[in-house]
Amino acid sequence: MTMRMRGRKAFNARQVILGLVLLCGAGVCAAADPRGEALSGAARCRSIADDRTFLDCVYGAMQPLRAELGLAPAPPAQTRLVPPAAAARAAPASASSASRAAPPRGEGLLGGVFGSGTVEVAPQRMTEFHFDRNGFFSVTLADGAVWKQLDGDSARAHWHGRPSDLVATVRSGAFGAHVLQVRGEAAIYKVIRVR
């Protein structure tokens, strides 16, 4: 098989996955059956900016369909990347409306998919932060929102001291991803809202 053929097949597979994610993001997929559940999970993967991690997440999201077909289960490293359905829901109404920027007008379908870079959470102090055993953080902001760093992120935080000394801003990114930046730091962290 020539390199050109391999490249075309890889490109076509990526188009198919992206198409499925776009359909689910548009609300076409329902989680009534294993196929719908798998597609819904794949749509929730769109918040992951790193391509390799995104692909692993999509593979993990196919677990309901794999189980239906009697196939070997997806590795836990892939299935745990799939954000829970609760994380895909809109922010609770009790969240501070001042912390959410209004979406830009007329961004259209592609603007919603690729992100606008707009501020999602205005700068606010952290109330707490924790690191898991792999060094990835979870932070709680003053408005009560909890943001978790994506496992595939290459940036590492090394915060010490009081959380209230740290001020964070969250921006939207490509494919529904979000990035968190702490005032005074150059690092940008890939995050997902978990609460």
Q: What pLDDT, in 10s, does the model give residues 59-88?
A: 988 988 888 888 888 888 888 888 887 654
- Residues 133, 72: one domain? no
- Residues 59, 132: one domain? no
- Residues 47, 67: one domain? yes
- Residues 73, 104: one domain? no
- Residues 77, 117: one domain? no
Q: What number of other Cβ atoms are within 10 A of residue 76's Cβ?
A: 10
Is 172 in contact with 178 (CB distance < 8 Å)? yes
Range of the domain at 184: 97-193
- Residues 101, 80: one domain? no
Q: Give domain status of residue 126, yes or no.
A: yes
Mean per-residue pLDDT over the chain, rounded: 74
Q: What is the pLDDT of residues 98-118, one digit of tens each?
A: 333 334 433 444 444 444 456
Residue, of 21 and 150, whose pLDDT is higher: 150
Among 25, 27, 67, smallest CA distance to 42 is for 25
- Of 59, 85, 111, which residue is a domain's last? 85
- Of 27, 60, 85, which residue is a domain's last? 85
- Residues 80, 114: one domain? no
Q: Give domain status of residue 165, yes or no.
A: yes
- Residues 80, 105: one domain? no
- How much is the pLDDT for 141? 93
Number of domains comprising the chain: 2
Q: Give domain status of residue 25, yes or no.
A: yes
- Assess whether pLDDT exceeds 80 at residue 90: no
Whether the pTM exceeds 0.75: the reply is no
Q: Give domain status of residue 91, yes or no.
A: no
- Residues 71, 118: one domain? no
- How much is the pLDDT for 8? 52
What is the crossing angle of helices 51-61 and 34-44, to 10°?
Answer: 160
- Residues 81, 103: one domain? no
- Residues 146, 177: one domain? yes
- Of 64, 85, 106, which residue is a domain's last? 85
Joined tokens for residue 31: 């989680």
- Residues 59, 20: one domain? yes
10 Å CB burial of residue 100 (0-12, 13-18, 19+) is: middle
